[in-house]
């Protein structure tokens, strides 16, 4: 909790809100800067900066058609975003719709990404 923290003439809370590093929270009786903070947060959200950019990107991210990818050689399967998938040759990739499909096909879960 920051409340009203300053560094020289810089009001730390406004800087954090303005740059998208935090979300405002006001607790009475500390409501002096509530309007200013809300205005800064609204502007930051509209500009998709800081944590708001992350949330916007996540909301717009499409889910893959096949969330699990197996390797024919190792007989292991991974989440589509696992680093091991990037190292896999295309000809060795096997695509699965579900974790259960991969296990039924005889594949074991990757120990790194733990699908």
In this predicted model, what pLDDT tens digit does every residue of 32-60 receive, in sequence order? Answer: 889 999 999 999 888 878 887 754 445 55
Query: Residue 39's pLDDT is what?
Result: 94
Lookup result for tokens 């996540």: 58
**Does residue 115 form part of some domain?**
no
82 and 46 share a domain?
no
Query: Residue 2's pLDDT is what?
Result: 55
41 and 11 share a domain?
yes
Q: How far apart are CA 66 and CA 100, in angstroms?
A: 13
Higher pLDDT, 12 or 56: 12
DSSP H/E element including 37: helix 34-46
Q: How far apart are CA 76 and CA 69, in angstroms?
A: 9
- pTM (predicted TM-score): 0.47
50 and 14 share a domain?
yes
Q: What is the mean pLDDT of the chain?
A: 86
Across 27-31, 82-86, 105-109, the highest mean pLDDT is recorded for: 105-109
Which structural domain range is residue 37 located in? 6-60
Into how many domains does the chain fold? 2
55 and 31 share a domain?
yes
77 and 105 share a domain?
yes
Residue in 90, 105, 96 with CA at minimum distance from that of residue 67: 96
48 and 77 share a domain?
no
Query: Residue 96's pLDDT is what?
Result: 96
């Amino acid at each position: 909790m920051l409340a009203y923290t300053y560094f020289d003439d810089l009001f730390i809370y406004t800087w954090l809100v303005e740059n998208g590093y935090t979300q405002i929270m006001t607790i009475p009786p500390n409501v002096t800067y509530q309007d200013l903070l809300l205005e800064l947060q609204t502007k930051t959200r509209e500009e998709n900066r800081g944590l708001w950019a992350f949330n916007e990107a996540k909301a717009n991210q499409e889910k893959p058609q096949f969330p699990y990818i197996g390797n024919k050689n190792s007989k292991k399967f991974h989440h589509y975003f696992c680093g091991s998938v990037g190292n896999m040759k295309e000809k060795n990739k096997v695509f699965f719709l579900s974790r259960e499909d991969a296990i039924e096909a005889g594949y074991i879960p990757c120990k790194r990404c733990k699908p």
